[in-house]
């Protein structure tokens, strides 16, 4: 193993025992802090009948109650601006990030100087795992302002010594001219934008490969880990495409892929405990290959917004527990969000899984899809209506349509009705893609 393969060798290659022992002592300290500083948690623990002394071993975390996004929203509405779950003094807060949730109301996350330091190191480790080095010039083509992975990416990328180019969103024209001028060789963006920008460059009469991007760092939505989507992006750009996963309330990037591209490593054992829980029963599941469930995070060193067993609504599957790169953090892929899940005759299906199947027909399909719902989900009466961009001649379109439908049935065990549309007919998104189109009136 070469010396420059890890940013934090000791943490990244620790044995399971070493990691558990580190997390145990950090979590004990974080619990002391919660009991001392957080009225929000003292009340929750009291209601659940758990005491500080109930935590002795790492597995005891499962004796403590979960925290949900709804609770954080309610806490923030009742006690503006940051909520009753803020555990630091206002004078120690140095920055506020926010996310606009599905309800449209912003949700604020504050950080102290120490929180920022922990985030920066965790994110730097994640970028480093993805192959970022100090010789790289990275254009950040994603949100920069309130977005939790904006300024924090700047801190992390600069801390490695790489060059950070703060482009932001909606600036494809500028990106096209600046990338060659600055010898940019890496981009940080959503997978939707990586696909959108490739089309944009082609429309300008340039082969995307000529821009010389060699590293595409994706995040903020599933996509880059979907094999067919990744293959297409790698073909478009002639670059290695890797993805990261984080959470606006916990840390901007917590998992990221190494060059083996076989799932995202858990990179933050010193910052977060990452449990995989059964979404229905709440049971904590083992980190074993094949195990699937919802991610729940507990912070280990947080000052402003320490959270315990925070339910992310991200559905993940463990892909492995060892890796050729030598990192010992378990590897997973994100299957989708609980909120996006559809149930077709009792079978759970995520829109990203449909996109994966349709993309596997590339170049006969472009990979762009839209699932059309005419009634509120998650239950959908079969067949599931899937609009897919196809390049087939009219004569071959019917055969392609039924081939895709057969593959969806064989892979996902649901019936779908595929509606082929010409390439470019579906909206292309610069930020996060929208895989579901609702044709009914939303109640909210
Ligand atoms: Zn690896």
- What does the pLDDT look like over 20-36, one tens digit per residue? 999 999 999 999 999 99
- β-bridge mates for residue 315, sequence order: 294, 336
Q: What is the 126 CA–ligand 1 centroid distance (Å)?
A: 11
Mean pLDDT of 411-438: 89
pLDDT tens profile 418-428? 999 998 899 88
Q: What is the 130 CA–ligand 1 centroid distance (Å)?
A: 9
Q: What is the 259 CA–ligand 1 centroid distance (Å)?
A: 7
DSSP label of 309: S
Q: What is the 219 CA–ligand 1 centroid distance (Å)?
A: 17
| Helix intervals (H) in 369-393 | none
* CA–CA distance, 273 with 292 (Å, rounded to integer): 17
pLDDT tens profile 187-238? 999 999 999 999 999 999 999 999 999 999 999 888 888 888 899 999 999 9
Q: What is the 197 CA–ligand 1 centroid distance (Å)?
A: 28
- β-bridge mates for residue 140, sequence order: 166, 188
Tokens representing 347? Answer: 């079978």
Cβ neighbours for 43, distance < 8 A, ≥ 6 positions apart: none
Phi/psi for 323 (5° steps) reads -155, 150
Q: What is the 260 CA–ligand 1 centroid distance (Å)?
A: 6
Tokens representing 386? Answer: 């899937």
pLDDT tens profile 278-334? 999 999 999 999 999 999 999 999 999 999 999 999 999 999 999 999 999 999 999
Q: What is the 162 CA–ligand 1 centroid distance (Å)?
A: 22
Q: What is the 431 CA–ligand 1 centroid distance (Å)?
A: 28
| Residue 11 binned pLDDT confidence (cut-offs 50, 70, 90) | very high
Higher pLDDT, residue 3 or 188: 188
Q: What is the 328 CA–ligand 1 centroid distance (Å)?
A: 8
Residues shown for the chain: 444
Q: What is the 247 CA–ligand 1 centroid distance (Å)?
A: 21
* CA–CA distance, 164 with 384 (Å, rounded to integer): 43
Give, in degrees to the nearest 5, the angle at Cα 284 between 20 and 348: 135
Mean pLDDT of 116-124: 98
* 34 in Cβ contact with 67 (< 8 Å): no
Q: What is the 266 CA–ligand 1 centroid distance (Å)?
A: 10
- CB atoms < 10 A from the CB of 384, how many? 23
Q: What is the 349 CA–ligand 1 centroid distance (Å)?
A: 28
Q: What is the 156 CA–ligand 1 centroid distance (Å)?
A: 20
* 123 in Cβ contact with 114 (< 8 Å): no
Higher pLDDT, residue 100 or 82: 82
* 414 in Cβ contact with 384 (< 8 Å): yes
Work out whether strand 137-140 and strand 163-166 pair parallel, antiparallel, or are unpaired.
parallel
Q: What is the 265 CA–ligand 1 centroid distance (Å)?
A: 7
Closest to 48 in 3D by CA, of 71, 29, 30 = 71
Q: What is the 253 CA–ligand 1 centroid distance (Å)?
A: 16
Q: What separation in angstroms does the CA of 295 have from each of 246, 247, 379? A: 10, 10, 23
Q: What is the 258 CA–ligand 1 centroid distance (Å)?
A: 5
Tokens representing 361? Answer: 């027909």
pLDDT tens profile 134-164? 999 999 999 998 999 999 999 999 999 999 9
Q: What is the 296 CA–ligand 1 centroid distance (Å)?
A: 22
pLDDT tens profile 29-60? 999 999 999 999 999 999 999 999 999 999 99
Residue 3 has pLDDT above 90, yes or no: no
* 110 in Cβ contact with 88 (< 8 Å): yes
Q: What is the 13 CA–ligand 1 centroid distance (Å)?
A: 10
Extended beta strands in 289-359, E state: 292-299, 310-320, 331-337, 342-344, 347-349
Higher pLDDT, residue 3 or 212: 212
pLDDT score recorded for residue 392: 81
What is the SS3 assignment for 61? helix
* 192 in Cβ contact with 431 (< 8 Å): yes
- CB atoms < 10 A from the CB of 295, how many? 24
Tokens representing 406? Answer: 């057969």
Q: What is the 110 CA–ligand 1 centroid distance (Å)?
A: 32
Q: What is the 268 CA–ligand 1 centroid distance (Å)?
A: 14
Cβ neighbours for 208, distance < 8 A, ≥ 6 positions apart: 197, 198, 201, 202, 236, 237, 238
Average pLDDT, the chain: 94
Closest to 280 in 3D by CA, of 288, 292, 272 = 292
Q: What is the 320 CA–ligand 1 centroid distance (Å)?
A: 10
Higher pLDDT, residue 434 or 64: 64
Residue 444 has pLDDT above 50, yes or no: no
What is the SS3 assignment for 440? coil
| Residue 104 binned pLDDT confidence (cut-offs 50, 70, 90) | low
């Amino acid at each position: 193993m070469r010396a420059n393969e890890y940013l934090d060798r000791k943490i990244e290659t620790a044995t399971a025992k070493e990691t558990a022992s580190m997390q145990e002592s950090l979590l004990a300290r974080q619990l002391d802090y919660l009991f001392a500083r957080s009225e929000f948690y003292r009340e929750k623990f009291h209601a659940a009948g758990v005491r500080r002394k109930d935590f002795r071993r790492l597995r005891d975390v499962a004796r403590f109650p979960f925290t949900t996004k709804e609770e954080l929203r309610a806490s923030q509405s009742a006690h503006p601006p940051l909520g009753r779950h803020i555990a630091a003094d206002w004078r120690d807060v140095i920055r506020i990030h926010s996310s606009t949730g599905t309800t449209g109301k912003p949700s604020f996350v504050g950080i102290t100087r120490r929180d920022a330091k922990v985030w920066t190191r965790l994110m730097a480790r994640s970028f480093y795992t993805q192959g970022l080095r100090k010789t790289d010039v990275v254009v950040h083509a994603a949100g920069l302002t309130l977005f939790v992975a904006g300024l924090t990416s700047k801190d992390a990328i600069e801390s490695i010594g790489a060059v950070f180019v703060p482009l932001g969103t909606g600036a494809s024209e500028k990106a096209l001219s600046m990338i060659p001028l600055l010898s940019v060789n890496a981009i940080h963006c959503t997978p939707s934008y990586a696909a959108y920008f490739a089309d944009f460059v082609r429309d300008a009469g340039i082969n995307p490969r000529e821009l010389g991007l060699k590293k595409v760092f994706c995040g903020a939505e599933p996509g880059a880990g979907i094999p067919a989507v990744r293959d297409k992006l790698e073909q478009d750009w002639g670059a290695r495409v890797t993805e990261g996963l984080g959470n606006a309330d916990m840390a901007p990037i917590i998992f990221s892929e190494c060059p083996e591209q076989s799932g995202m490593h858990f990179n933050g054992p010193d910052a977060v405990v990452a449990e995989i829980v059964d979404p229905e029963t709440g049971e904590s599941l083992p980190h074993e290959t094949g195990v699937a469930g919802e991610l729940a995070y507990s912070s280990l060193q947080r000052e402003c917004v320490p959270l315990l067993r925070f339910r992310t609504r991200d559905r993940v599957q463990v892909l492995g527990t060892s890796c050729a790169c030598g990192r010992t953090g378990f590897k997973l892929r994100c299957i989708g969000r609980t909120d996006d899940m559809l149930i077709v005759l009792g079978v759970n299906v995520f829109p990203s899984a449909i996109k994966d199947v349709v993309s596997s027909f590339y170049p006969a399909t472009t990979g762009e899809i839209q699932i059309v719902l005419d009634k509120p989900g998650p239950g959908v009466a079969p067949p599931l209506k899937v609009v897919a961009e196809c390049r087939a001649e009219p004569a071959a379109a019917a055969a392609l349509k039924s081939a895709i439908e057969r593959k969806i049935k064989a892979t996902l065990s649901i019936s779908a009705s595929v509606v082929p549309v010409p390439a470019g007919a579906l909206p292309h998104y610069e930020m996060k893609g929208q895989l579901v189109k609702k044709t009914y009136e939303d109640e909210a």
